[in-house]
Amino acid sequence: MIKSLMNETISKILSNLEDQLKFIDLEQDDTIKCAELSIDVSRKALDKLKATMLKHKFRSQGEEIIFFKKTKPKFLAPLIYHLKVYKIESRKPNGSDKIRRKYLLNELDKLKHYFDSNLDFYRYYRTQSNYLDHKYFLRGKYDIRLTVDSFFFEADDTPKYVALKFLSKNSEF
pLDDT per residue rounded down to tens, the chain (173 residues): 446 767 899 999 999 999 999 999 999 999 999 999 999 999 999 999 999 998 888 889 999 999 999 999 999 999 999 999 999 999 999 999 999 999 999 999 998 998 888 888 889 988 999 999 988 888 876 666 665 554 443 444 444 455 555 555 555 44
Pair 82, 42: CB distance under 8 Å: yes
* Cα–Cα distance, 34 to 104 (Å, whole number): 19
State if pTM tops 0.85. Answer: no
Residue 57's pLDDT is 87
Residue 154's pLDDT is 41
Distant-in-sequence, close-in-space partners of 164: CB < 8 Å, separation ≥ 6:
72, 73, 76, 77, 80
Pair 49, 110: CB distance under 8 Å: no
Q: What b/e readout covers 60-92, taking b as 16+ CB neighbours within 10 angstroms?
A: eeeebbebbbebbbbbbbbbbbbbbbbebbeee
Pair 53, 67: CB distance under 8 Å: yes
Per DSSP, helices labelled H in 28-160 are 31-54, 61-66, 72-91, 97-117, 119-126, 133-136
DSSP code at position 140: T
Residue 140 Cα distances to 3, 78, 135, 137, 160, angstroms? 23, 25, 9, 9, 11
* Cα–Cα distance, 110 to 30 (Å, whole number): 24
Residue 97's pLDDT is 94
**Helices 97-117 and 72-91: crossing angle, nearest 10°?**
150
Which candidate, 43, 52, 53, 54, places its Cα nearest to that of 76? Answer: 43
Residue 141's pLDDT is 67
